[in-house]
Chain A
Amino acid sequence: GQQLNQSPQSMFIQEGEDVSMNCTSSSIFNTWLWYKQDPGEGPVLLIALYKAGELTSNGRLTAQFGITRKDSFLNISASIPSDVGIYFCAGRTASGTYKYIFGTGTRLKVLA
């Protein structure tokens, strides 16, 4: 099935550092979503973006909807141990079919 390219695939960071990850697609999306998944659980929605160029924050998390509508970025500031998990981006196609296509995930590990 179709998936978005998400990078990096995994990263180890020190507690307190900032984290950046991104998603790119060959298709245009009209909605970008960012999720966090803990082991054995369903993904939890962190941020939703609806307009090209939109910048939205949720606490220490900030995400942006790329101006080309083919990419999105998520930044986590001052990481803490509970930020550990897998982060997924998801795009909703502009074709009106209401499908959400998911990225391949970024596995984040925070070293205390």
Chain B
Amino acid sequence: SQTIHQWPATLVQPVGSPLSLECTVEGTSNPNLYWYRQAAGRGLQLLFYSVGIGQISSEVPQNLSASRPQDRQFILSSKKLLLSDSGFYLCASGHLEAFFGQGTRLTVV
């Protein structure tokens, strides 16, 4: 079975600072990769997904971007964080099903 690694687990960043969250996957090849954001007490909102290296689809207009430089690496970035970027960010990987990492809790202050 596949394992999804996300880091860091928690992050506190000032407004206007850059962001880079990394997700790597083990135990599978050529997976579909996803970034979700979850506000406190809410559901999961799909931000980006990728079906292959260099292929990124954005679901909602926002202050974030994603990249997939390698088959099993997915990166979420921002040049300048906003307060509204705070949340719980989850990376997922899969083909028929989606398996999740442990998430990164981002607080922008």
Residues of chain A whose beta carbon lies under 8 Å from any beta carbon of chain B: 1, 3, 6, 31, 33, 35, 40-45, 48, 50, 88, 90, 92, 97-105
Contact = CB atoms under 8 A, between A and B. Distances in A.
B98 A33 contact: yes
- B interface: dominant SS: strand
Given A1-B60, A3-B43, A99-B59, A90 B98 contact: yes
A43 B44 contact: yes
Interface stretch (B65-73, B79-87, B89-97): B89-97
Contacts of B59: 1, 99
A88 B44 contact: yes
A41 B102 contact: yes
Contacts of B74: none
Contact of B96 (A3, A6, A31, A88): A31
Contacts of B19: none
Interface of B: 4, 6, 32, 34, 36, 42-46, 49, 51, 57, 59-60, 90, 92, 96-103, 105
Contact of B101 (A42, A101, A104): A42
A98 B44 contact: no
Contact of A100 (B4, B6, B34): B34
Nearest to A107: B41
A104 B41 CA distance: 9
A33 B98 CA distance: 8
B51 A41 contact: no
Nearest to B47: A1
A75 B92 CA distance: 25
A104 B44 CA distance: 8
Contacts of B36: 102
Contacts of B99: 45
Given A3-B43, A43-B44, A33 B100 contact: no
Nearest to B4: A42
